[in-house]
A and B are shown apart, each in its own frame.
Chain A
Amino acid sequence: MAGASKAVNDSRANLPFVYRQYNAEQLRNVLYKMYLIRRFEEGAEECYTRGLIHGTMHLSIGQEASAMGICMPLSEDDQITSTHRGHGHCIAKGAEVKRMFAEFFGKTTGYCKGRGGSMHIADVGKGNLGANGIVGGGIPIAVGAALSSKMMKTGKVVVSFFGDGANNEGAFHEALNMAAIWKLPVIFVCENNGYGMSTSTARSTAVKNIAERAAAYSMPGVIVNGNIFSEVAEASNKAVERARAGEGPTLIESKTYRHRGHSKSDRNRYRSKEEIEDWMSNRDPITLFESELREFGFIDDKGIEAIRGAVAQEIADGIEFAKASPSPDVRDTGDYVYTEQA
């Protein structure tokens, strides 16, 4: 998602950040990708329900603006660490859905050759250092990647995505402190969807806003509405600039909501139907972005239809690709445990 361009049109001067920063094609591409994330997860869910995919999965439906907004100022070389709820991050960082579906189907053409599944999905070639089955597991790894960037002078910025639940793991605190003392080019992105599984942040976390924890590690703590693409992208832009300038880390708290249950085994007993309904009908990130695009004249109904149609086609093709791909040979269970050496 590189290539932020200068404002093309003075009449946009009063519009929110992204409409000044990016051109119409870039913005329409963001909408495309948000739909791609949404439809990918709906498609995966349906395949799961039909028994085509096993295991479990954690859907980020409702959090698409957060993934897209954060990745907007990143170049392909920049890196991310992701979470168990990582499909959106993966697509936002440039992965192809067909190889993601193939992974879910356990096929050799999948990003992890069928070894990782949903919880470990990543296109490493696009700078994604991995989804993670361990809550908070990716946070110190991102700091390590940022240390590499500094030592190797690559100029790469690293983003660590994690949830609100992860901010109560020791790894979060240890990692933020090191990033701060060494002024590393890393951005900590807490996607606060209100719950870690069934446990609300009010019950799990001593501070009201996770961004407040930035103060303990002497870095900026920024709160954004994670369902408004422009707000997220603006905060990410600032944090990326700061990181590239060698000024150190930022903690961004992106407040959002997951529409679906935690995983496939959630009875949703810890939150009300009304609450879920409210977020789905009144604060859906795709609906919000789409209406802004329309209102500001970046797209019309025909354009939206075209995007939806193209996304549906990419999803259908992706599932077909996954189904037609070969399964790994059971004799190859020893592969990838260690690095192959000549």
Chain B
Amino acid sequence: MDAMVRELSYAQAIQEAMAIAMDMDERVFLMGEDIGVYGGAFQVTGDLVDRFGTERVIDTPISELGGAGVAVGAALTGMRPIFEFQFSDFATLAMEQIVNQAAKMRFMLGGEVSVPVVMRFPAGSGTGAAAQHSQSLEAWLGHVPGLKVIQPATPYDAKGMLLAAVADPDPVMIFEHKLLYKMKGPVPEGFYTVPIGKADVRREGRDLTVVATSIMVHKALDAAAALEAEGIDIEVVDLRTIRPMDKQTVIDSVKKTSRLMCVYEAVKTLGIGAEVSAMIAESEAFDYLDAPIVRLGGAETPIPYNPELEKAVVPQVPDIIAAARDLVRGVR
């Protein structure tokens, strides 16, 4: 392995990106609940307060609406805040500032201002935290012009996309699946960026395009590995950014495989899967389809506490395997 590349966890990769951003640019600072001495609810900020001090690693009161608004105001006037929500679910308390203010300010003021704020949202289920601490709300924000919404799936992307987000002149919302925080992967030292708005083909295949987001990228890759033995060859596209979406990569993939399945943890209806499917149906790739499009998403329910139910309401590897097999063999 290259000397410059280490194995870091997803959380460490984000922490390193924030440290680099703060080292490079004095305007960058962190705000959030318990991100200082506590190190953040998921230890993502860790010991950064020891390095950068409480002036640049600011513990806010439990005030999401106000806190997010303060970050927006600081971004509007020259600073580069990175605001951590303790759980993505608490974005609901701050929707006003995110949706009405951050997203629209540049537009409403005729391009006279910009709002280079970065917001981080620990998201998703699988930790037994029940209905108000397990949601996947990225499509809510993905629906708002003016915001950019990303879902890095690997430590490498988490670092590179965060650095791209800090450099971006517009508000960037980062959804980080909580179960990814401990996942390790190769991460180069130093500064690099991974572009916002570019999908990544994680695995090439002939028979079926699986468009996945966040943790589902890994589940789709596991499913693809399992199906290889059956002679089913799956292409896995990691969407990485849901707004603005990289349509071309998905279109090209579907033109090659002639089949499309979307896999995501958020509630199935009115979400990413609907968007990707409709985008394909509207594109030249539609004529290439050999089978109906399939969406695998979360069940139409809040996330339950009971661990078996919790697993049952989001797509798991066996679900992806079964659905992919049916789709390729023409059962559907």
Contact = CB atoms under 8 A, between A and B. Distances in A.
Interface in A271-291: none
Contact of B62 (A116, A169, A265, A266): A169
B33 A197 contact: yes
B307 A133 contact: no
Contacts of A166: 62
B265 interface: no
Given A119-B133, A170-B63, A204-B62, A114 B305 contact: yes
Contact of A170 (B38, B59, B66, B300): B66
Contacts of A136: 62
A333 B305 contact: no
Interface string B214-242: 00000000000000000000000000000
Helix, strand, loop or mixed for chain A's interface? Answer: loop
A330 interface: yes
Given A115-B309, A198-B36, A198-B38, A56 B90 contact: no
B62 A328 contact: no
Interface in A109-128: 112, 114-117, 119-120
Contacts of A115: 130-131, 302, 304-306, 309
B61 A333 contact: no
A100 B167 CA distance: 49
Given A117-B128, A136-B62, A170-B66, A198 B34 contact: yes
A91 to B, nearest CB: 19
A266 B62 CA distance: 17
Contact of B34 (A169, A197, A334): A197
Contacts of B322: none
Nearest to B54: A203
B132 A119 contact: yes
Given A116-B130, A133-B133, A333 B313 contact: yes
B107 to A, nearest CB: 26
A50 B313 CA distance: 26
A11 to B, nearest CB: 48
A199 B63 contact: no
A165 B304 contact: no
Given A55-B130, A117-B128, A330 B312 contact: yes
A145 B323 CA distance: 47
Contact of A199 (B33, B64, B65, B130): B33
Contacts of B281: none
Contacts of A267: 38-39
30 contacts: A54-B307, A55-B128, A106-B308, A114-B305, A114-B306, A115-B302, A115-B306, A115-B309, A116-B131, A120-B130, A120-B305, A133-B130, A134-B93, A168-B62, A168-B63, A169-B64, A170-B66, A198-B38, A199-B34, A199-B59, A199-B62, A204-B59, A205-B61, A267-B38, A270-B37, A270-B38, A327-B306, A328-B309, A330-B309, A337-B301
The list of the 5 closest CB pairs from A to B, nearest first, reads A55-B128, A117-B305, A133-B132, A106-B306, A198-B38
Interface of A: 54-56, 103, 106, 112, 114-117, 119-120, 132-137, 165-166, 168-170, 196-199, 203-205, 265-267, 269-270, 327-328, 330, 332-334, 337
